[in-house]
Amino acid sequence: MPSKTFINLEAEKRKRIVDAVVEEFSSKPYEQVMISDIIKKAKIPRGSFYQYFTDKEDLYFYIIEVIKQEKMSFLQNTLDNLEGLKFLDLVRKLYEDGIKFALKYPSYVKIMDFLMKNKNPLYDRMLAENLAYAETIYANLIDKDKAKGYIRDDIDSLTFAKIVVQFTTYIAIEELDTDNEEESFKRMLERNNQILKIIEYGVLKG
């Protein structure tokens, strides 16, 4: 994570650095990104970079956190209005909002696409952390629906949460195409709805 020196920079300079970082990580895989290119675009000395970040990995984790926080902010309106919304309906709404977020921030999508498709050495760590975070949130929401009688009491909340999170996450890994974003997002939305339909109604007749 960035140093206090970076956090205390004036907003314009900090934004310039972040924009340069996003541009680099969205244009090529992690392994091909060079610190020299970032400092050139950000117009900062190399020495200043190492006052702000330990190394490229530190910078990468920071920019992923920026994306995560931006997305959480984008989803906040939905998260603030959960009353009366059943768990699976919430998952549908959050997925739709996630598609809208992706269309608004295509550079963020490309960064995540490189991460998921190339599976660099940081992939497992990042994916594990983010999946665990989502699973915990979903498990809590499932517990609330169980208390309201919407979900059976014998369903294990964390197992159910893991199923939903992992199935919906891997849709993006398989379907995301940054050269044809809108079409791939339509496919992702349709697959997500199909998965949730199966979960909600099962596969057996009668």
pLDDT digits (tens, 9 = 90+) for 143-187: 999 999 999 999 999 999 999 988 888 887 778 777 787 888 889
User: Dihedrals φ, ψ of 144, to 5°?
Assistant: -65, -40
Q: What CA–CA distance (Å, rounded) separates 91 from 75? A: 11
pLDDT (mean) for 67-81 = 89
Asked, for residue 122, whether it belongs to a domain, the answer is: yes
Assign residue 96 a region (left: φ > 0; alpha: ψ between -120 and 50; beta: otherwise): alpha
More confident site: 169 or 62:
62
Looking at the predicted structure, is the pLDDT value of residue 64 above 70? Answer: yes
Asked, for residue 145, whether it belongs to a domain, the answer is: yes
Asked, for residue 206, whether it belongs to a domain, the answer is: no
CATH code of residue 79: 1.10.357.10
Residue 133: other Cβ atoms inside 10 A = 12
Asked, for residue 36, whether it belongs to a domain, the answer is: yes
Structure tokens that stand for 55 in this block = 């190394």
Asked, for residue 54, whether it belongs to a domain, the answer is: yes
Looking at the predicted structure, is the pLDDT value of residue 66 above 70? Answer: yes
pLDDT (mean) for 60-87 = 89
Integer angstrom CA distances of residue 23 from 67, 110, 122, 135 = 13, 10, 19, 30
Number of domains forming the structure of the chain: 1
Per-residue pLDDT of 14-33, as tens digits, reads: 999 999 999 999 999 999 99
> 173-181 long-range CB contacts below 8 Å, 24 or more apart?
173/116, 173/117, 176/109, 176/113, 176/116, 176/117, 178/106, 178/109, 178/110, 178/113, 181/102, 181/103, 181/106, 181/109
Asked, for residue 112, whether it belongs to a domain, the answer is: yes
Asked, for residue 137, whether it belongs to a domain, the answer is: yes
Using pLDDT thresholds of 50, 70 and 90, give the confidence band for residue 206: low
Asked, for residue 81, whether it belongs to a domain, the answer is: yes
- What range does the domain containing 131 cover? 4-201
Q: What CA–CA distance (Å, rounded) separates 168 from 173? A: 9
